[in-house]
């Protein structure tokens, strides 16, 4: 290269402000990995693409390096402060060493930008920017001619909204290219389209989405469309830019280029190259007669034409013709690729895990991977239900929807359209906050009941003080957690990177609703829903000692050997004590109010009202009396008596079983006295029959009230017959006098009933509180910690269940068969677990199994909403919750009379787990899978129980999917055989359980550790299977459809969009690519082979 030495010398001596960068560096030449000389310190000045090397700042330049056709290699070590400048010409590399790591990174950026290739990229970027500015100016000039009706009082433009159906996407269109021009004549293009949006008010270009890659054709037809959700701010004036790229080297798609770390556009020679772009207004597409636009693709300078692009407006209710034969005949020529290649790990097995495990990428992947999930719960699309009727109540629980659109060919050469919608749910935080609030009230009530036990002996009193102190600490923790959740703002779901945060431990991980709407040309439209959520588990507390299943079993065994400190009550007895206390708190105010109504009816001398009040009082009192028939109350009263001061015991009080009590009543001999001494201590001064008398007094008092009411009504009837023809005025006076007599005669009897009931309540509350005191005292502090862990797991599981129930109810309001099944049998809820039984995930599985089992005690109730707040209401206590789901009046009227009258709806949750990752391989080869086998076997029995109940109570033709009972019975038998077979990674269990759930109109859940990788892999595979089996997906497009659904959804190549922070991080790997289960099974077996061979080599070496 020719240059003027004098001009270069003058340029090197110019002031510092004239240079792009300058400073001290150690520099030498390198050939291969060997330095020709030791690095020498030089004063370096960078101007454009010229690097001047000087001995010191004031000396002349000793060497000039021209940055032409070179690139920077930056070392990734945290301590390394050197970089290598490599040249394509073959001359020796330039070794550059800086004083510090920040200085080294700054020089790497500066040298990379100074490279001539970087300058050319800058020029291309400026050209594109100029074109966009020209388009914006043209838009502004056209806007000056808008009619005055479109300008508001402030002079700001009013944009034209797109008229669409409520709760439907605003805009959807498909894309195809024709006649694309390649750089060389023989090259086959591998193309994809990047979609960007220019908002008319902001004039900012925003990357929105992209299609899949179509390989090997110049006329690509893309299966992935573009859809804008209802809340997206898009108008007729909005511009959409379509940029077509040619992927040159697919293996370089995720290469990080250190030369241009700040550029949003990657280098043209890495991964892809720009072919052309086109822009159109949304209004032009919407108002076009054929609802189709054919645009010309031009190069960045706007001069050369490189092909055309067709934009077709999509409406789910219409079908598109044409192109079907073309895409079917060319099926073997066009290949559809995903953006991210499968990475190979050093262990010898394939992994879909990203290499860069940074925090931003982890947070980005949570939702990005959720978008890849399939939708596998089927329901009939409602025909008569308006979207406007559904909208208010659904918007109360769902938010931030994200849509995807596909078109796939069917086996009869027609197009079917698939729309995926993913939404967060506000229930992720609403349900846990409601639960914690109920826990706080329940614990405060329990602490007060312990304080109301009265005076106790020193041993028991110290025990009570210790229990109350620990309970107060736990209560304070619940209150602090609730306060922190009340301060939460932002996203309505918890990402996986937050699963270890203490303040969010009650919140489910990645709880999302996924929905797929399938529109086939010859079949009825169908909706497929699934709830995807991370496995309910106490991640903050950890799994060092296992999960709830193991911890509860161990705790119960230790409680049996507590010695003299406290009395052992079985879990059934403690649960019964809580139930008795709950019945007391519920029935006592009801009985009191009905007694007051009875007296009010008597004062008004109203026979009909008196009969109704007496009926209600009798029913509630009978329930009240029945609640204390259990032997537990009698034994607890005796134990409490012995715990009073002055009662000296040789052995602690231990409750007797019902069998022992009955045996004592039959045999009053010496042997019974020995049995009594071994169970409950006998005190000579304690009258065991006193409780029977107190308890029986309630029934006697009620009988007296009933007899008095009957007598009064009988006298009233006889007096009316005798004096029917007497003077009316005299009859009125007698009525008033009789009304006074009724009240005076009933009042003392009602007061007696209330007094007897109050005495029963006082004794029963104290006895049951004493039982709870023993439960807490026997296991402090483990008992409270286990309660906390169980509350955490249950909270996560319940949030998902409530979400699934509400969505299922909304989508099935017109399905009378389902509604009948709901109130007659109950709702089947099937959880598909993908956790391994190795290491920490075994503890997660134990937590998950207990949490899902606890959902059996949850009941649902549908009520009519009285306000605009449609969020569910939670009432009850631990082990007995009622979820009240609110519906608008129009939707509530569609329900059967039984549900409208408040009938409680039962849930039947079942869990089937099959570990599918490499950790499960280790568990099967070298560990234990008994936990998984036991869980599957137990839940199979629950599923059979639901099936038997269903066949017993429901007619055979009540459900559209239940027309062939023999098929369903065969599926259950097949599932039973697969569970008994105990094969390794038997994924057939998952497919069978999912099929049975869909046929029984159940709700489907899919769970793994964080509801990302394995969840996406499993449900997308099942989704495509449903499209193939139920909607006639073309057999040649099964893998292509699977790839489309698993590919990156938002953004373009080398670009990661963080949905939680809204920031754009460049040069990061794209979202993960998940592969079918079969491929993972093969890879896991390769791992085992590698481990066995390694072990054999080591043994041979040391022998």
Nearest 10 degrees: CA dihedral of 969, 970, 975, 977? Answer: 120
The single residue listed with the structure tokens 């290269």 is 1
| Prior bond of 442 cis (ω within 30°) | no
Q: DSSP character for 224? A: B
1008 is catalytic: yes
CA angle, residues 6, 9, 15, in degrees to nearest 5: 135
> What SS3 state is found at 421?
strand
Token pair recorded at residue 656: 């007797």
- Decide: residue 46, CB within 10 A, 0-12 exposed, 13-18 middle, 19+ buried: buried
Rounded CA-CA distance 136/242 in Å is 16
Rounded CA-CA distance 999/961 in Å is 5
Between helices 571-603 and 689-722, what is the axis angle to 10°? 30
Contacts of 546 (CB under 8 A, 6+ apart): 842, 843, 846
Q: Where are the beta strands (DSSP E) in 56-135?
A: 61-66, 70-74, 82-87, 93-97
Rounded CA-CA distance 636/767 in Å is 5
Radius of gyration of the chain (CA): 38
Rounded CA-CA distance 528/519 in Å is 12
Rounded CA-CA distance 995/255 in Å is 42
**Secondary structure, 3-state, 358-389:** CHHHHHHHHHHHHHCCCCCEEEECCCCCCHHH
The number of C-alpha atoms within 13 Å of 53 and in the hemisphere containing its C-beta is 17
Distance of CA 220 to the CA centre of its chain: 36
> What SS3 state is found at 15?
coil
Token pair recorded at residue 193: 């389209």
Cβ proximity of 915 and 985 under 8 Å:
yes
Nearest 10 degrees: CA dihedral of 1025, 1027, 1033, 1038? Answer: -40
Q: Which of 833, 818, 841, 1021 is nearest to 939 (CA)?
A: 833
CA angle, residues 852, 857, 859, in degrees to nearest 5: 110
Contacts of 194 (CB under 8 A, 6+ apart): 207, 210, 242, 243, 244, 245, 1052
Rounded CA-CA distance 959/820 in Å is 10
Cβ proximity of 862 and 942 under 8 Å:
no
- Decide: residue 930, CB within 10 A, 0-12 exposed, 13-18 middle, 19+ buried: exposed
Q: Which of 84, 236, 231 is nearest to 146 (CA)?
A: 236
Rounded CA-CA distance 706/1087 in Å is 78
Helix-strand-coil split of the chain, %, nearest 5: 45, 20, 35
Q: Which one of 778, 1008, 1024, 1044 is the catalytic residue?
A: 1008
Give phi and psi for 884, each to the nearest 5.
Answer: -95, 110
Distance of CA 89 to the CA centre of its chain: 55
The single residue listed with the structure tokens 């899919």 is 1006
Cβ proximity of 859 and 908 under 8 Å:
no
The single residue listed with the structure tokens 């797929």 is 516
Token pair recorded at residue 920: 């499960």
Residues with a catalytic annotation lie at 1008
């Amino acid at each position: 290269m020719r240059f003027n030495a004098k001009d270069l010398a003058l340029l090197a001596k110019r002031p510092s402000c004239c240079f792009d960068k300058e400073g001290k560096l150690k520099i030498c030449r390198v050939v291969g990995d060997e330095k020709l000389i030791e690095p020498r310190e030089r004063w370096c000045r960078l101007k454009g693409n010229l690097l001047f090397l000087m001995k010191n700042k004031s000396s002349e330049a000793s060497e000039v390096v021209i940055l032409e056709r070179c690139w920077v290699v930056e070392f990734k070590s945290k301590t390394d402060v050197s970089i290598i400048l490599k040249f394509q010409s073959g001359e020796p590399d330039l070794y550059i060493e800086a004083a510090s790591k920040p200085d080294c990174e700054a020089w790497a950026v500066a040298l990379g930008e100074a490279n001539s290739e970087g300058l050319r990229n800058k020029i291309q970027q400026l050209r594109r920017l100029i074109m966009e500015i020209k388009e914006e100016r043209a838009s502004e000039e056209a806007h000056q001619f808008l009619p005055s009706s479109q300008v508001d009082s402030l002079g700001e433009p009013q944009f034209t909204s797109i008229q669409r159906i409520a709760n439907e996407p605003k805009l959807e269109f498909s894309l195809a290219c024709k006649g694309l021009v390649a750089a060389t004549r023989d090259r086959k293009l591998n193309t994809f389209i990047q979609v960007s949006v220019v908002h008319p008010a902001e004039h900012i270009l925003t990357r929105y989405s992209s299609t899949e890659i179509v390989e090997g054709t110049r006329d690509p037809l893309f299966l992935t469309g573009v859809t804008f959700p209802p809340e997206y701010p898009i108008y007729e004036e909005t511009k959409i830019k379509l940029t077509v790229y040619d992927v040159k080297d697919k293996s370089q798609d995720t290469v990080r280029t250190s030369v241009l770390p700040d550029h949003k556009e990657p280098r043209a020679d890495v991964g892809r190259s720009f072919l052309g772009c086109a822009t159109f207004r949304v209004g032009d597409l919407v108002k076009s007669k054929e609802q189709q636009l054919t645009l010309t693709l031009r190069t960045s300078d706007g001069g050369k034409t490189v092909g055309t692009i067709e934009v077709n407006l999509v409406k789910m209710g219409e079908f598109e013709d044409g192109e079907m034969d073309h895409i079917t005949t060319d099926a073997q020529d066009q290949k559809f690729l995903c953006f991210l290649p499968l990475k190979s790990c050093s262990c010898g097995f394939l992994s879909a895990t990203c290499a860069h495990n940074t925090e931003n990428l982890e947070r980005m992947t949570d939702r990005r991977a959720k978008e890849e999930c399939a939708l596998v719960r089927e329901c009939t699309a409602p025909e008569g239900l308006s979207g406007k009727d559904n909208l208010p109540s659904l918007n109360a629980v769902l938010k931030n929807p994200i849509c995807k659109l596909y078109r796939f060919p069917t086996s009869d050469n027609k197009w079917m359209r698939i729309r995926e919608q993913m939404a967060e749910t506000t229930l992720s935080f609403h349900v846990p906050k409601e639960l914690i609030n109920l826990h706080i009230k329940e614990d405060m009530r329990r602490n007060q009941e312990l304080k109301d036990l009265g005076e106790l002996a020193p041993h028991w009193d110290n025990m009570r003080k210790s229990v109350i102190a620990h309970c107060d600490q736990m209560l304070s923790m619940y209150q602090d957690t609730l306060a922190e959740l009340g301060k939460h703002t932002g996203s309505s779901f918890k990402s996986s990177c937050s699963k270890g945060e203490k303040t969010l431990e009650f919140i489910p991980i990645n709880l999302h609703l996924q929905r797929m709407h399938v529109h086939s040309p010859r079949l009825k439209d169908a909706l497929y829903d699934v709830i995807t959520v991370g496995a309910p588990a106490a991640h903050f507390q950890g799994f060092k000692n296992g999960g709830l299943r193991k911890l509860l079993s161990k705790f119960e065994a230790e409680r049996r050997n507590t010695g003299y400190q406290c009395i052992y009550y079985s879990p059934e007895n403690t649960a019964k004590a809580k139930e008795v206390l709950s019945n007391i708190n519920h029935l006592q105010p009801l009985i009191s109010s009905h007694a007051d109504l009875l007296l009010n009816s008597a004062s008004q001398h109203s026979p009909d009202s008196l009969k109704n009040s007496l009926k209600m009082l009798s029913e509630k009192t009978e329930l009240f009396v029945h609640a204390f028939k259990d032997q537990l109350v009698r034994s607890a009263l005796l134990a409490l008596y012995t715990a009073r001061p002055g009662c000296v015991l040789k052995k602690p009080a231990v409750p007797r079983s019902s069998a022992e009590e009955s045996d004592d009543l039959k045999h009053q001999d010496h042997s019974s006295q020995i049995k009594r001494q071994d169970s409950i201590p006998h005190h000579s001064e304690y009258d065991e029959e006193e409780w029977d008398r107190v308890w029986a007094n309630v029934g006697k008092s009620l009988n007296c009230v009933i007899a008095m009411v009957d007598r009064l009504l009988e006298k009233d009837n006889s007096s009316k017959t005798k004096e029917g023809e007497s003077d009316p005025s005299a009859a009125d006076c007698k009525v008033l006098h009789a009304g006074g007599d009724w009240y005076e005669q009933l009042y003392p009897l009602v007061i007696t009933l209330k007094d007897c009931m109050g005495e029963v309540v006082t004794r029963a509350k104290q006895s049951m509180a004493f039982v709870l005191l023993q439960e807490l005292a026997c296991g402090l502090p483990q008992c409270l910690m286990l309660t906390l862990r169980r509350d955490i797991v249950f909270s996560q599981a319940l949030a998902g269940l409530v979400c699934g129930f509400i969505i299922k109810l909304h989508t099935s309001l017109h399905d009378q068969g389902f509604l009948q099944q709901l109130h007659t049998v109950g709702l089947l809820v099937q959880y598909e677990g993908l956790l391994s039984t190795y290491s920490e995930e075994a503890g997660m599985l134990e937590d998950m199994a207990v949490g899902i089992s606890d959902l059996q005690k949850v009941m649902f109730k549908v009520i009519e909403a009285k306000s605009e707040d449609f969020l569910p209401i939670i009432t009850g206590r631990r082990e007995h919750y009622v979820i009240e789901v609110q519906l608008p009046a129009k939707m509530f009227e569609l329900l059967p009379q039984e549900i409208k009258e408040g009938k409680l709806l039962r849930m039947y949750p079942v869990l089937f787990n099959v570990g599918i990752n490499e950790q499960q391989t280790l568990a099967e080869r070298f560990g234990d899978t008994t936990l998984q086998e036991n869980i599957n076997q137990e839940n199979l029995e629950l599923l059979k129980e639901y099936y038997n109940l269903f066949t017993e109570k429901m007619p055979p033709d009540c459900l559209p999917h239940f027309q062939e009972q023999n098929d369903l019975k065969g599926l259950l038998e097949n599932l039973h055989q697969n569970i008994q077979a105990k094969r390794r990674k038997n994924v057939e269990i998952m497919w069978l359980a999912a099929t049975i759930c869909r046929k029984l109109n159940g709700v489907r859940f899919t769970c793994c550790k964080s509801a990302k990788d394995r969840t996406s892999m499993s449900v997308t595979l099942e989704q495509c299977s449903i499209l193939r089996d139920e909607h006639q997906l073309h057999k040649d497009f099964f893998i292509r459809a699977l790839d489309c659904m698993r590919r990156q959804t938002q953004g373009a190549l080398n670009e990661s969009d963080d949905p939680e922070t809204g920031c754009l991080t460049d040069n990061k790997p794209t979202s993960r690519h998940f592969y079918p289960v079969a491929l993972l099974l093969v890879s896991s077996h390769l791992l085992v082979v590698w481990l066995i061979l390694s072990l054999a080599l080591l043994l041979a070496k040391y022998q």
